[in-house]
């Protein structure tokens, strides 16, 4: 039992955005997140798993061990203390996956007949990025684009905050100079979240749109705001000037999204 020094160094590298980009890999921690990524099947490639006894003590842990075995995922067994040293969390749940970052691009999209896209502009907090991924999946979107200046959506904290949602979405990273002509070529209305915009409740949402939400404090950059087809706002009580970007994104997507056909329980 014990992880090779080579794999230890690899996992440590993947805590860094530049190293993740160089390796083309990212980390998934926790029982729920790991289960969701394994469920994603062919969309993602899992290089290997690192498991400690702690996982078997948690709800969902034993079935997850069986799932790893049935999928023939190479699994390294370590002690809890060793996994804790490798983990970015204070209380690791006994499992860590090393996965290959999807290489999908804007050009790889084929069916946009009913597309609703979420674009993240300059959002630096990985927790907010991950939560927005989770929200996007919750409201039936299938694509999220992290624009230049946004935190890497494959940051371990962002992946963890997504609660496994990142496994089921098309998560892209692209510059605005690439995204803008693509949005126009697809005929998608571009809507921007902005405090001084139109009340989102007065909007008649189409079946297809691209919504941009901006970073904490600065909001959506002026270049994008000037090109938008509409500016949408959430009316707030007097004296309240803004909401957390993940909270605002959730409200906007709720108002703009049709009820799901197979409605799940919250």
Cα 222 to Cα 87, 143, 194, 202, 226, distances in angstroms: 39, 23, 11, 24, 6
Is the CATH code 3.40.1280.10 the one for domain 106-256?
yes
Superfamily per CATH, domain 5-100: Ribosomal protein L30/S12 (3.30.1330.30)
pLDDT of 54 > 80? The answer is yes
At residue 248, does pLDDT exceed 80?
yes
Residues 92-121: what's their mean pLDDT? 83
3-state SS track over 139-161: CCCCEEEEECCCCCCCCHHHHHH
Secondary structure of residue 234 in the 3-state scheme: coil
Q: What are phi and psi of 50, to 5 degrees?
A: -120, 125
Closest CA to 80 of 52, 61, 58: 52
Tell me where in the chain the CATH 3.30.1330.30 domain(s) lie.
5-100
pTM exceeds 0.75, yes or no: yes
- List C-alpha distances in Å: 258 to 130, 140, 227: 22, 9, 26
Residue 136 pLDDT greater than 80, yes or no:
yes
Distance, CA of 98 to CA of 49 (rounded, Å): 6
Tell me what percent of the chain is helix, strand and coil, each rounded to the nearest 5. Answer: 40, 20, 40
What is the pLDDT of the chain when averaged over all its residues?
A: 90
Please state the rounded mean pLDDT for residues 247-258.
93
Half-sphere exposure (CA, 13 Å, Cβ side) for 149?
16
């Amino acid at each position: 039992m014990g992880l090779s020094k080579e794999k230890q160094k690899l996992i440590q590298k993947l805590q860094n955005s530049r190293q993740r980009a160089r390796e083309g890999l990212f980390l998934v921690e926790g029982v729920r997140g790991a289960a969701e990524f394994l469920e994603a099947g062919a969309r993602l490639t899992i290089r290997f798993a690192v498991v400690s006894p702690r996982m078997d003590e948690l709800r969902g842990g034993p079935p997850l061990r069986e799932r790893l075995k049935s999928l023939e995922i190479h699994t390294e067994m370590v002690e809890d203390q060793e996994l804790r040293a490798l983990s970015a969390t204070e209380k690791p749940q006994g499992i860590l996956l090393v996965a290959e970052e999807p290489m999908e691009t804007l050009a790889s999209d084929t069916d946009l007949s009913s597309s609703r896209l979420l674009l993240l502009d300059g959002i630096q907090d990985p927790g907010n990025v991950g939560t927005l991924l989770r929200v996007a999946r919750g409201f039936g979107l299938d694509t999220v684009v992290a624009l230049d200046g946004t935190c890497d959506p494959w940051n371990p904290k962002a992946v963890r905050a997504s609660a496994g949602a990142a496994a089921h979405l098309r998560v892209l990273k692209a510059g605005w100079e690439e995204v803008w002509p693509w949005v126009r070529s697809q005929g998608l209305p571009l809507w921007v979240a902005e405090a001084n915009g139109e009340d989102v409740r007065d909007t008649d949402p189409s079946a297809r749109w691209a919504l941009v939400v901006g970073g904490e404090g600065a909001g959506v950059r002026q270049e994008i705001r000037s090109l938008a087809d509409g500016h949408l706002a959430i009316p707030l009580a007097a004296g309240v000037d803004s909401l957390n970007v993940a909270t605002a994104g959730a409200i906007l997507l709720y108002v703009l999204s049709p009820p799901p056909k197979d409605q799940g329980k919250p």
